Amino acid sequence: YYFLPEFPAPIYLTTRPDLGDVAQGRVVTIDNYYELFNGVLNPKQLEGLRLLVSPFPQQQFNATEDRRSARPSRGVTCFDCHTNGHTNASTHLVGDIRPQEYRHRLDTPSLRGVNIQRLFGSQRALKTVEDFTEFEQRAAYFDGDPVIGQKKGLNVLERGSQVHFMAEFQEILDFPPGPKLDLLGKLDPEKATESELRGQEVFFGKGKCGSCHPAPYYTDNLMHNLRTERFYEERMINGRRASADGPIKTFTLRGIKDSPPYNHDGRLLTLADTVEFYNLILGTDLTEQEKQDLVAFMLTL
């Protein structure tokens, strides 16, 4: 078990599965993206990747006096948080909620498999990765305040070319290989252990995980409200209010072992913690053996 994703994360492409890790064990930056990807991507995708590794001003990192860095900053790149198209597990506060105390902490989701997703943003329910790419620059980069964005250097991406190119690259980022999974995304009995097979039965049966995370991609592309506020009283803790989360996007579980911590806000450090959390939330009353088997199964996804 690890508390943070692998670094640097490998990059798998849907268009070139024969290449394995296209990043070759390196962190992709403006200094090496062309060397690594020229001849692998088409010109549009290559330009999209260039934009994803180019810094643009942001709320905390910019050239004004209102910044976190000691020196004026050129900004941040998409790949600063979505390192190698995956995640570095950094967190931030969502920009779409006010007042400040109600803003949810949000973990950085992986960009792997965005081609099979139909909802973007934990709660905003944007319908395309193009929308998310454009609106992230226009609003979320500046905590949802366009006036501050203008002051700090808002970079407006051109929808017909720049946004399109960035999205085209993002949409070929593949999940990591699942060597024990069959064509329908479930375990091949010839390759799986007994514990993993039992875990699969729990996942789609007693554990109720498959209700929201069906095979083969382990997401229903919907939003669900778990009503976690059933378990605590609303109150202030260190300047933030413990309150209802509301509906949250169902994130894919493919490659889940590679993207700790878990839940939309990173509150769960391991898959074992995640199993305990949902055992409580869903009232499934799993045995210790069933919990262990469930973790074993998720490690194969």
Domains and CATH numbers, the chain: 17-170 (no CATH), 194-298 (1.10.760.10)
Contact 118, 278 (CB under 8 A): no
Q: pLDDT band for position 152 (50/70/90)?
A: very high
Total Cβ atoms within 10 A of residue 24: 14
CA distance 21 to 71: 35
DSSP state of 176: P
pLDDT at 39: 96
pLDDT at 207: 97
Q: pLDDT band for position 2 (50/70/90)?
A: low
Q: Is the pLDDT reported for residue 196 higher than 90?
A: yes
Q: pLDDT band for position 136 (50/70/90)?
A: confident
Entry pTM: 0.90
pLDDT at 241: 82
pLDDT (mean) for 120-124: 78
- Residue whose pair of structure tokens reads 């000691």 in the numeric block: 70
Note the pLDDT tens digit of each residue in 60-101: 999 999 999 999 999 999 999 999 999 998 888 777 777 878
pLDDT at 102: 78
**pLDDT: is 246 or 251 the higher one?**
251
Q: Is the pLDDT reported for residue 1 higher than 60?
A: no
Contact 110, 88 (CB under 8 A): no
- 69 backbone dihedrals φ, ψ, rounded to 5°: -80, 150
Contact 248, 226 (CB under 8 A): yes
pLDDT at 139: 78
Total Cβ atoms within 10 A of residue 59: 21
- And the tokens for 270? 């391991």
Q: pLDDT band for position 240 (50/70/90)?
A: confident
Percent of the chain with pLDDT over 70: 99
